[in-house]
Amino acid sequence: EVQLLESGGGLKQPGGSLRLSCAASGFIFNNYAMNWVRQAPGKGLEWVSGISGSGGGTYYSDLVKGRCTISRDNSKNTLFLQMDNLRAEDTAIYYCAKCIGTSGRRPIDFWGQGTLVTVSS
């Protein structure tokens, strides 16, 4: 059974940083690209970043480019998202999502339950 368990959310200070983790199980982790998608309270889905199965390809939304780093540790089946210079508009549920294949072009087929990040002083 595929499982994705996000952690690292919580209350963050404006201008501060966050590091989210996503522990994956139930599939061969390095065979699949992964993404982070966020959803502000009461709003729609917004793609944040993606990474290929090998980790050699990384992709970012224009909204977070320069502030975000996506990475993965295939030996530990874990996906990460580092985001700096946090703003109030970064407040959202952050979902870890698995893709159908190893390429960043393949769509998401499974989502974690998400971790809530609140940016506020």
Residue numbers of the site for another protein (CB under 8 A)? Answer: 35, 37, 44-47, 50, 59-62, 95, 100, 104-105, 107-114
Residue 9, token pair as written in the block: 């959310």
Beta bridge partners, 11, equal: 118
Name which of 32, 56, 46 is nearest 106 in CA terms: 32
| DSSP assignment letter at 21 | E
Nearer to another protein, 44 or 75 (CB): 44
Name the minimum Å distance from CB 58 to another protein.
10
Distance CA(98)–CA(113), nearest Å, equals: 12
Q: Return the number of the residue (65 or 87) whose C-beta is nearest another protein.
A: 65
**What minimum distance in Å lies between the beta carbon of 41 and another protein?**
12
Q: How far is the CB of 46 from another protein (least distance, A)?
A: 6
Q: Are strands 10-12 and 115-119 parallel, antiparallel or unpaired?
A: parallel
> Which residue's CB is nearer to another protein, number 62 or number 75?
62
